[in-house]
Amino acid sequence: MRSPLVSAPIVGATKPHHLQQAVDAIDLQLTDEEAATLEKPYVNAGPSWF
């Protein structure tokens, strides 16, 4: 929800309660600092074609 470049989040629900948690996360608002902390370890590997 934070990034306009993301059009579809990947939800890996394996149990019914995971779906409810994903829906509840829609209302979660992160500060810029929180988002930066979570995104810091991410390394963009670019597209992967199989």
Distance CA 37, CA 34 (A): 5
Nearest to 35, CA basis, from 1, 9, 5: 1
Question: Residue 32 has what pLDDT?
Answer: 94
* pLDDT tens-digit readout, 1-50: 788 887 777 778 899 999 899 889 889 999 999 999 999 998 888 887 76
Question: Residue 22 has what pLDDT?
Answer: 86
Q: What is the pTM of this model?
A: 0.57
